[in-house]
Amino acid sequence: MKRIILILKNDIKRRLKSPLSILILLIIPVMMTGIIGTVFSPSENKMPKIRVLITDNDKELGAKVFIEAFKSPQVDMFQLELVEENKGRELISNNRGSALIIIPSGFSKNLLKKNKTNLLLIKNPSEQFMPNIVEEFSKTLSILLSGAIQVFEIDETLINSIKGTNMDYKSLITMLPMLKKNKTNAEKFKKLMTYLNPPLLEIKKEITGKKTNNTGINIFSYILPGISIMFLLFIIEIFIRDILSEREDGKLQRMMFAPLRACEYITARILSGWIMGILTYLIIVLIGKLIFNIDWGNYFFLFILIIITCFWIASFFALLNAFFKNRNQAGAFVAPIIMIFSAFGGSIIQTNQLPEAVRWVSALTLNHWFIIGANKIRSNIFPTTPILILLISGIILYIIASKALNKRIII
Amino acid sequence: MEKNILEIKNITKNYGDLRALDDFGFSINRGEIIGLLGPNGAGKTSLISILSGTLKDFSGSVSFLGEDLFKNRKLKNNMGIVPQDMAFYDDLNAIDNLMFWGGLYDISKKKLKERAIDLLKIVQLNDRAKEPIKNFSGGMKRRLNIAIGLIHEPELILLDEPTVGIDVQAKVSILEIIKDLGKNGISVIFTTHQLSEVEEICSRIIIMDKGKKLVEGTLKELIDIVGEKEIVEIKGEFSIKSMNDLKKNIEFAEVIAIKENYISLSFKNTDKIPDMMEMFFKNKIKVSDLKIKSPNLETVFLKFTGRSIRD
Amino acid sequence: MKRIIHIALIDLKIMVSDKIFFFWTLIFPLIFIFIFGNIYKDDNVKAKAELVIVNKDVGKFGKYFEKKIESPDILIKSLKKEPVDYNRLLILPKDFSEKIKSRKPQQLLFKKNSNANVKAATQIEIKIIQGITKTITELLINSKSDDFFDNKIDFKDIINIKTINLNENSIKMPSGFDHVIPGILVQFIMMMVLVYGGIVVMMDRQMGRLTRILFSSTSIPELWAGKFLGRLLMGLLQAFILVFIGILFFNLNLGNNILAFLIILFFSMAIASLSILFGSVFRKEDLIVGMSVMSANIFAALGGCWWPIEFVPQTFKTIGMISPAYWAMDGFHKIIFFNKSLSDITLNIIVLLIYTLIFTILSIKFFKIKE
């Protein structure tokens, strides 16, 4: 035991003397969390509005209603600009708008006659999501408008009274009772209200699966665990790689000349990676709290998860190092393994974003179970399943690693 | 007190079909410095691994201080190693390293500290004790390497090429340290490729090759085995086969070694050299160089191993 | 020049002969392309979002409502019982028709599996809302008829949204891979050149190879130029591999290939100089790897390699301009999506050249032959 503690103390001392590489591996996840969190922060004033350009060649009621719907305060996600078609095309081609909607002349007249009419949509090709939102919104709006036209008899008077005015969304709403002037419309209007208040058909959403109920809205708390676990893998791997470097540079043989047992050495190495990993992750927890104000949830649960996770990682890399011939081989294989763990385990993208065909791979990764565990802990739930899975697999890895390493040391 | 501090008997170790050590054995007395010589692949690394306990499945025995080395782990407290590699932590300073490596042995912290300070004086690093080792020169690192091997006051130390890659001045200083070890009653097993170093400091020499002990004795005894004959080394353009064919006709000298374009022979009477040259010319063998040497450890080594120590 | 090329080629050879070279340059970016390409896949080519409808309805309206939700971009699976595994599920209750007939309000249970794709769920939700709108409209316009399904007047999609291309002559809309591959290409040029390039410069110095080279008639400027060219070739090789794979398997369209090459060339030049700087300044392999990964990721994130640029707040876009990756990505966007010409990407090229100049000056200043 004395020798195990000595090796451990020596490792800590060594790492403190040249901490730069570890510090960098600590800084990277923090910086990445900061960047991703800031970009995807749900805070409304930070989210850019979708810039929609509309060319109104109709200038009558149909177009008005369509345009005003984009401006409606309930939607509040578009920044609308009325432009001439050429100007609109130019703006899109200079990447200064998400989509251009061209309302053709005669749009309202065709609508009233229930004749099919086209709205032209030009999407910004360099954007991937915003133009699609504009398209889907326009489609829904078209269905509503088509529906309204089919339900109500709208006469020319109403159209003419609006023509040429600059009525906004609110004013247009006040016009609605005018529909009631027509007797048939009045009945239909009444009926419509009974269908909509409360709605005749409505969807009630329910989230299923094993998702925990996160009440916090701090986006960083979703990002940091995933990214930090990826870098924790790298950090503990550096500590555990001493097994290979000490064998290569003769330190192991020198140690074995002392009254040190091979099993003591193996325990010391795994323990060192384990404890250093725990200390490192505690720093990440602290940074998360101080910089990103992350509420990690129950800190006792979190500590248990960290202890078991670090044990798993230390055992895992000890096992890998028992099979690697030298540091170069380890360097070549370890980074890809970590990156695959991270890509499929939810550190790089959420696992539910993965193509469904490969989603099962994530259950084989540490990252997956750690992220699930951290999410549960944030909701103050003890992550029994992740902890049991990591603990049992970690113990198995430890046993195999110890035996394999012993065989490498005592030939 | 027992005479032999270490006694290695009949060690045989195989790696599959390859025999790394073949019935190998020797013993060393207290305060004795022995040189263990062998070309690459002689079996030295296997022997060191057996002594460290990292190589199992061998036959034979190792007795240290009268006990089986592998049955009493505590015995290792009296044995030290100075490996060929700079096996210590570059990021730490000299004191930290001495404290760590010494800490692996059963020795009190207080004593360890005193010993570390003393040793740094002996290896003349006391003024650099707290400086990171990465700033040290090659010679300084070699001296520290020795200090680490001695930190726990071993009774036997194994020095594996402790002078590799350093300048003459540093080499002289290290050899002085080793000589002093012997004087202080510490037994030393010294391996090197520098035969002159062995000639200078070792009281006994063991030559091994292909896992076998080929010969053992003092320098004088070994030279006597070769005999007081002149050694002639010839270089030219000839194959091993052609020289082996010619060998049968060489009666006036003893062939020591034949390699591609190289032959060494031991002449009792150097007057016979012209006869040999004539024979070479008759057989159309081109000779480009001829050297006559008095017998020394190098010729002894060549005789027993058939190759140079650097091969 | 012969010596410069000689030095450059040996560095390239060191990189290529690494056993794991093809993982880093090919397999790993492919995993990224595969994952991100699927997330950001274009609507025209994407897999249909799946919806399971458990239709327990005993009347006719259940089937009718299913028809109203139908859309070319969703795949409806109609079942009688609730399955164990599903991504999205809509339940039409037993009394669905009954309640509609009696005009009683009702809530339809829409279940979303938390592990399923969020984007597909939103898409389905919109379709259901559109279906509800159509249903209510038809109920209204047919309110007078006694039997809804007899001589029913159908909902008419009067307004059709017709999506047209910005450039009338462009054949196809860019695919998800056209968005993803340039970002991954830019990120991996940085990763590969900085890591491999940096480590080799450091090792060359520490193992005395630089000193040895200078014992030949090679001058220091030639040595630096050789190292620069070697790293530039590393970047171009990485780009070539990804573009080749992109064209072969993902139908990648880089717009004007010559302009795309220019962007890759000038970006690789900037990163080549930076890698010499890293190799000169840092003395440990771990440190070079750490700094390279950090810089590559931060530059990539700021430069818009990771996510669609429209998500990024304006302030962030402005900060992103300090990243060379931003200028490369902006250049790619201009040529891939907007068919812009050389004059439109001149600014991008100038900025990348300025980066090359700055990194070159710094790398020359710190370039050391010995430790």
Q: Does C357 touch chain A (CB under 8 A)?
A: no
Q: Which of A120, A198, A343 sits opposite C31 (nearest CB)?
A: A343
Exposure string over C138-172, b if 16+ CB within 10 A, otherwise e: bbbbbeeeeebeeeeeebbebbebebeebeeeeee
Q: Which residue has the tokens 């003890």?
A: A382
Cβ atoms within 10 Å of A176's Cβ, excluding its own: 10
The whole-number pLDDT of residue A87 equals 92
User: How far is A295 from chain C, CA to nearest CA, in Å?
Assistant: 22
The whole-number pLDDT of residue B76 equals 87
Q: Which of A2, A6, A14 sits opposite B92 (nearest CB)?
A: A14
The whole-number pLDDT of residue A215 equals 40
| Mean confidence (pLDDT) of chain A | 81
* DSSP conformation letters of A47-105: SPPEEEEEEES--SHHHHHHHHHHH-TTT--EEEEE--HHHHHHHHHTT--SEEEEEPT
Query: Do C155 and C197 belong to one domain?
Result: no
**φ/ψ (deg, to 5) at B20:** -80, -40
Query: Do C10 and C134 belong to one domain?
Result: no
B56 touches B82 (CB < 8 A) = no
Q: pTM for the full model? A: 0.72
Contact map slice: C 156-215 vs A, CB within 8 A? 156-167, 173-174, 176, 179
Q: Does A202 touch chain C (CB under 8 A)?
A: yes
Query: Do C166 and C180 belong to one domain?
Result: no
Nearest CA-CA partner of B172 in B194, B197, B203: B197
Q: Domain boundaries in chain A? A: 50-184, 220-410
Q: Which of B54, B74, B88 sits opposite A410 (nearest CB)?
A: B54
Neighbours of chain A (3+ CB pairs under 8 A): B, C
DSSP state of C197: I
One-letter amino acid identity for C84? V
Omega before residue B39 within 30° of 0, cis: no
User: How far is A403 from chain C, CA to nearest CA, in Å?
Assistant: 28
Q: Single out the residue in C119, C153, C170 at which a domain terminates.
A: C170
| Inside any domain, residue C371 | no
Q: Which of B48, B55, B85 sits opposite A249 (nearest CB)?
A: B85
C53 contact residues in A (CB cutoff 8 A): none
Structure tokens at C4: 């410069």
Determine, for residues A209 and C160 on separate chains, whether the beta-carbon distance falls below 8 Å. Answer: no
pLDDT-based confidence at residue B164 (cuts at 50, 70, 90): confident
**φ/ψ (deg, to 5) at C305:** -85, -20
Residue of C nearest to A211 (CA): C114
Convert the pLDDT of each residue in C308-326 to its tens digit. Answer: 777 777 788 888 899 999 9
Q: How many CB pairs under 8 A join A and B?
A: 82
pLDDT-based confidence at residue A214 (cuts at 50, 70, 90): very low
Give, for B214, the enclosing helix (H) or strand (E). Answer: strand B212-217
pLDDT-based confidence at residue A407 (cuts at 50, 70, 90): confident
Convert the pLDDT of each residue in B252-287 to its tens digit. Answer: 788 878 888 888 888 777 788 888 888 888 888 888
The whole-number pLDDT of residue C86 equals 83
Q: Which of C103, C126, C286 sits opposite A140 (nearest CB)?
A: C126
A254 contact residues in B (CB cutoff 8 A): 81, 83, 87-88, 101, 148
A216 pLDDT higher than 50: no
A121 touches A99 (CB < 8 A) = yes
Q: Does C97 touch chain A (CB under 8 A)?
A: no
CATH classification for the domain delimited by B228-294, as one of 1.10.357.10, 3.30.470.20, 3.40.190.290, 3.30.70.1150: 3.30.70.1150
Determine, for residues C294 and A355 on separate chains, whether the beta-carbon distance falls below 8 Å. Answer: no
Chain B interface disruption, residue of A257, A260, A405, most B CBs within 10 A? A257
CATH number of the A50-184 domain: 3.40.1710
User: How far is A227 from chain B, CA to nearest CA, in Å?
Assistant: 29
Cβ atoms within 10 Å of A398's Cβ, excluding its own: 21
Structure tokens at C160: 């059709």
Convert the pLDDT of each residue in A149-203 to its tens digit. Answer: 777 766 666 555 555 555 555 555 555 655 556 666 666 666 666 666 666 777 7
Determine, for residues B74 and A250 on separate chains, whether the beta-carbon distance falls below 8 Å. Answer: no
Rounded to the nearest 10 degrees, what angle do helices C176-192 and C324-338 cross at?
Answer: 150
B311 pLDDT higher than 70: no
| Inside any domain, residue C55 | yes
Lowest mean pLDDT among A117-126, B82-91, C158-167: C158-167
Residue range of the domain that includes C102: 49-170
Q: Which of C105, C129, C290 sits opposite A140 (nearest CB)?
A: C129
Q: Single out the residue in C124, C155, C170 at which a domain terminates.
A: C170
Determine, for residues B87 and A249 on separate chains, whether the beta-carbon distance falls below 8 Å. Answer: yes
Q: Does C109 touch chain A (CB under 8 A)?
A: yes
Burial of B98 (0-12, 13-18, 19+ CB in 10 A): buried
One-letter amino acid identity for A169? Y
What is d(CA C120, CA B216) in angstroms, rounded to the nearest whole number?
83
pLDDT-based confidence at residue A211 (cuts at 50, 70, 90): very low
What is d(CA A376, CA A384) in angstroms, rounded to the nearest whole number?
9
Q: Does C314 touch chain A (CB under 8 A)?
A: yes
Torsion of CA C266, C272, C275, C277, to 10 degrees: -90
Which stretches within chain C are classed as H helix?
2-17, 21-22, 28-39, 61-69, 96-101, 118-141, 176-192, 198-206, 209-215, 220-250, 257-281, 285-303, 314-320, 324-338, 342-366
A389 pLDDT higher than 50: yes
Neighbours of chain B (3+ CB pairs under 8 A): A
Instruction: Calculate mean pLDDT across residues C65-78.
Output: 85
One-letter amino acid identity for C333? H
The whole-number pLDDT of residue C146 equals 67
Convert the pLDDT of each residue in C44-54 to its tens digit. Answer: 445 577 889 99
Query: Do C271 and C160 belong to one domain?
Result: no
What is the ipTM score, two decimals?
Answer: 0.74
Tell me the helices (H) and strands (E) count for chain B, helix number first.
10, 14
Q: How many CB pairs under 8 A join A and C?
A: 283
Determine, for residues A10 and B52 on separate chains, whether the beta-carbon distance falls below 8 Å. Answer: no
Chain B interface disruption, residue of A2, A254, A260, A272, most B CBs within 10 A? A254
Cβ atoms within 10 Å of B267's Cβ, excluding its own: 17
A384 pLDDT higher than 60: yes
What is d(CA C221, CA C360) in angstroms, rounded to the nearest whole number?
12
Query: Do C37 and C57 belong to one domain?
Result: no
Q: Which of B92, B132, B148 sits opposite A13 (nearest CB)?
A: B92
Nearest CA-CA partner of A79 in A50, A99, A46: A50
Q: Which of A21, A123, A208 sits opposite C163 (nearest CB)?
A: A123
Structure tokens at A285: 């927890």
**φ/ψ (deg, to 5) at B114:** -60, -45
What is d(CA C311, CA C298) in angstroms, rounded to the nearest whole number?
17
Residue of A nearest to B154 (CA): A258
Spell out the residues 6+ positions from residue A153 whose beta carbon is closer than 8 angstroms to its own: A182, A184, A185
Instruction: Calculate mean pLDDT across residues C171-196.
Output: 82
Convert the pLDDT of each residue in B62-121 to its tens digit. Answer: 888 888 888 888 888 888 888 888 888 888 889 999 998 888 888 888 999 999 998 898
Q: Which residue has the tokens 């509309």?
A: A54
| Mean confidence (pLDDT) of chain B | 84
The whole-number pLDDT of residue A333 equals 83
Which residues of chain A are at the B interface, by a Cβ-Cβ cutoff of 8 Å? 2-3, 6, 10, 13-14, 17-18, 249-262, 409-411
| Inside any domain, residue C198 | yes
A207 contact residues in C (CB cutoff 8 A): 111-114
Nearest CA-CA partner of A233 in A350, A365, A329: A365
Q: Single out the residue in C127, C144, C170 at which a domain terminates.
A: C170
Query: Do C241 and C130 belong to one domain?
Result: no
Query: Do C160 and C252 belong to one domain?
Result: no
CATH number of the B6-218 domain: 3.40.50.300
Determine, for residues A150 and C31 on separate chains, whether the beta-carbon distance falls below 8 Å. Answer: no
Convert the pLDDT of each residue in C7-42 to its tens digit. Answer: 898 888 888 887 778 888 888 888 878 777 766 655
Cβ atoms within 10 Å of B214's Cβ, excluding its own: 18
Determine, for residues A259 and B88 on separate chains, whether the beta-carbon distance falls below 8 Å. Answer: no
Q: Domain boundaries in chain B? A: 6-218, 228-294
User: How far is A8 from chain B, CA to nearest CA, in Å?
Assistant: 10
A67 contact residues in C (CB cutoff 8 A): none
B70 contact residues in A (CB cutoff 8 A): none
Query: Do C71 and C39 belong to one domain?
Result: no
Which stretches within A113-241 are classed as H helix?
130-151, 156-162, 169-175, 183-196, 220-240
| Inside any domain, residue C152 | yes
**φ/ψ (deg, to 5) at A303:** -60, -45
- Angle (CA) B31-B105-A399 rounded to 5° is 130
The CATH number of whichever domain residue C136 belongs to comes to 3.40.1710.10
Contact map slice: A 73-102 vs C, CB within 8 A? 89, 92-95, 98
Q: Which of B91, B105, B132 sits opposite A258 (nearest CB)?
A: B105
The whole-number pLDDT of residue B264 equals 84
C195 pLDDT higher than 80: yes
Query: Do C60 and C17 belong to one domain?
Result: no
The pairing of beta strand C88-92 with beta strand C106-113:
antiparallel
A217 pLDDT higher than 60: no
Query: Do C197 and C59 belong to one domain?
Result: no
Which residues of chain B are at the A interface, by a Cβ-Cβ cutoff of 8 Å? 48-49, 51-57, 73-77, 79-81, 83-89, 91-92, 96, 100-101, 103-106, 132, 148, 152
The whole-number pLDDT of residue B2 equals 52
Instruction: Calculate mean pLDDT across residues B226-236.
Output: 78
Query: Do C229 and C285 belong to one domain?
Result: yes
Query: Do C328 and C309 belong to one domain?
Result: yes
B129 touches B143 (CB < 8 A) = no
Exposure string over C94-115, b if 16+ CB within 10 A, otherwise e: ebbbebbeeeeebebebbbbeb
Determine, for residues A353 and C117 on separate chains, whether the beta-carbon distance falls below 8 Å. Answer: yes
User: How far is A174 from chain C, CA to nearest CA, in Å?
Assistant: 22
Please, what is the end-to-end C-alpha distance for chain A in angstroms? 24
Domain count of chain C?
Answer: 2
C171 pLDDT higher than 50: no
B152 contact residues in A (CB cutoff 8 A): 258
A162 touches A60 (CB < 8 A) = yes
